[in-house]
Amino acid sequence: MEINTKDLLQAGVHFGHFSRKWNPNMRPFIFMKKGGIHIIDLSKTISKLEEACHELKKIAKNGKKILLVGTKAQAREKISFYAKSINMPCITERWLGGLLTNFTTIRKSVKKMNNIEKMKKNGVFDTLSKKERLLIDRLYTKLYKNLGSISNMNHIPGGIFLVDPNKEKIALTEAKRLKIPIFAMVDTNTNPHDIQYPIPSNDDSSKSIDIILKFVSKAIQYGISINKNERENKKIK
């Protein structure tokens, strides 16, 4: 799937923030200022997006998970859709502090959630009292809301993708601490120096978020398919 300027323009990827809100470290990625708004250089966007996709493909090829994160209103639906389409974990609700740095504890909570699901499937849940069922249902609802979308993440992810690092500061800090490769959409008010693979782009428009995620998910899916083919070939041999 070729990345081209026309598609990025139509999605409004080039629209940055008001120039008074800019982060000077974004200077290399800004084309011009128009009407008090910074315009992102789409040639830089394409270059950085291609670089990010190449690395994401390698991570997926190695059989590792990539955690997609977007808790702002414009990103939630898009993140959820693309994460499901490639069977990757995601966070669209509030980021739980310690999700990465205290991963063992988080996994215990996920296990608790999975055990409740098993209880409901094998009939054990139905043998409990009404009060017990009510308490367990409340616990399950809370766990599923916060952790349901990462139930398939059994290990620390091989990479993390953020829509708006300014919004996802805790996720960014935890990923940096654990030296997890960070991929992110960086708008003109963001410090790209915190990100290994910054993608200069409008992180407020749902259309912009959608098109970036479309390319990102395609790259990840391609890496997954290579991994699958290699495993199947090993079985044949």
Every domain of the chain and the residues it spans: 5-100+156-236, 103-150
CATH tag for 103-150 (out of 1.10.287.610, 1.10.3720.10, 3.40.190.10, 3.40.1050.10): 1.10.287.610
Residue 234 pLDDT more than 80? no
CB count in 10 Å sphere of residue 169 = 13
pLDDT value at residue 168 = 97
Arithmetic mean of pLDDT, 117-136:
91
Element at 141 (helix H, strand E): helix 130-147
For the chain, give me the number of helices (H) and strands (E)? 7, 8
pLDDT value at residue 235 = 73
Q: Rounded mean pLDDT of the chain?
A: 94
Helix axes 42-61, 206-236, angle to 10 degrees: 30
Residue 125 pLDDT more than 70? yes
pLDDT value at residue 237 = 60
Q: Is the dihedral of CA 198, 200, 201, 203 positive or negative?
A: positive
Residue 232 pLDDT more than 90? no
End-to-end Cα distance, the chain? 32
Arithmetic mean of pLDDT, 76-102:
95
CATH class of 5-100+156-236: alpha beta
pLDDT value at residue 230 = 86
pLDDT value at residue 1 = 63
Return left, alpha or beta for 179; rule: phi > 0 is left, psi -120 to 50 is alpha, else beta. Answer: left
pLDDT bin (cut points 50, 70, 90) of residue 165 is very high
